[in-house]
Amino acid sequence: MNQALKKILIKTKKQVFSEIIGNNVSFQKGEGYDFCELKEYEYGEDVKNIDWVISAKMQKPYVKVFHSQKELNIKIVSLLNGSTYFGSKKFKKDVITEIAAILGFICVKQGDPFASYIANETCELCTKKSKKIFNVNFMAEQIYNYNVIGKDINYPFIMNDLFNTIHHKSIIFLIGDFFDINELDLKLLSKKHEIFLIIVRDKFEEKPSELGSVNFNDPSTNKNFEGVLNKDTVINYIKKVKENDHKLFTHLQDNAIRFVKIYTHEDLTKKLIGLLK
């Protein structure tokens, strides 16, 4: 195993198992102890959950609904395209590896099974459903060693594939940089599953410096770009990034999807714990 990957795994495992991390707060409803809401009784529901006081006041039966305390089904989906092969401090792909490992170790610690996927133009199963630490290590190794050069993101295919292949209600973590999200539509998937979106970015790609004459290579398409990165170019680029993110955030809020943006230089564990609380 690569020494850099070993450091990532040792670091993330230590952080997760030394931090006091409680159970994930799930929006899934079912049997449990945490009260969620009251709703009208429907035929076939457990009469033990009827709230007789409220039912008497309303003159119709109402039942208590609780947050589910059942074992959670976790899916970790790493969106690995060419643009993740970038970073001024460290590569976004390495950060995605670290985030996936943290989520995997949290699942192991809490006794929840997880499965993982690598997605771009296709959506491939990386590790099968498991609660074992071995699967966290194997998942991290697959992500870390994955060749992203020449890979682009096909959002419609990925979302359709996840919708069709994940049959049981699950918590899905989507991890990627989420640039150019014109074809991203999470509406259908979010109705079936609970989704958390983790946006991984580098500060430089959101606010680049004026570098003058440049020669860039697009790792998603392998195309070269020659031009001038001056003040006007930078202003126009930043405007497009903000438009992309405004559209993304609006879409997430409209579909009640929780999300967090993590930069390559930030403390990943603190940001993730903030998302999961």
Segment 151-186, tens digit of pLDDT? 999 999 999 999 999 988 999 999 999 998 999 999
Pair (46, 139) in one structural domain = no
Name the least confident of 17-31, 201-215, 234-248: 17-31
The residue among 37, 62, 171 whose CA lies nearest residue 114 is 171
SS3 174: strand
- As for how many domains the chain has, the answer is 2
Q: For residue range 228-252, list pLDDT tens digits in order.
A: 788 888 999 999 999 999 999 999 9
CB 97 within 8 A of CB 8: yes
Pair (44, 110) in one structural domain = no
Pair (84, 34) in one structural domain = no
Tokens of 272: 């993730």
Name the H helices within 24-170: 52-58, 92-110, 133-144, 155-165
Q: Tell me, what CATH number does 187's domain have?
A: 3.40.50.410
Pair (38, 127) in one structural domain = no
What would the DSSP string read from start to end of 182-244?
TT---HHHHHHSEEEEEEEE-HHHHS----EEEEEEETTTTEEEEEEE-HHHHHHHHHHHHHH
CB 67 within 8 A of CB 234: no
What's the gap between Cα 173 and its chain centre? 3
Q: Residue 42's domain spans which residues?
A: 29-67
Pair (46, 156) in one structural domain = no
Stated length of the chain: 277
- pTM to 2 decimal places: 0.79
Per cent of the chain over pLDDT 90 is: 53
With cut-offs at 50, 70 and 90, classify the pLDDT of residue 25: very low
Pair (137, 167) in one structural domain = yes
Pair (113, 234) in one structural domain = yes
Tokens of 127: 């590790």
Pair (220, 120) in one structural domain = yes
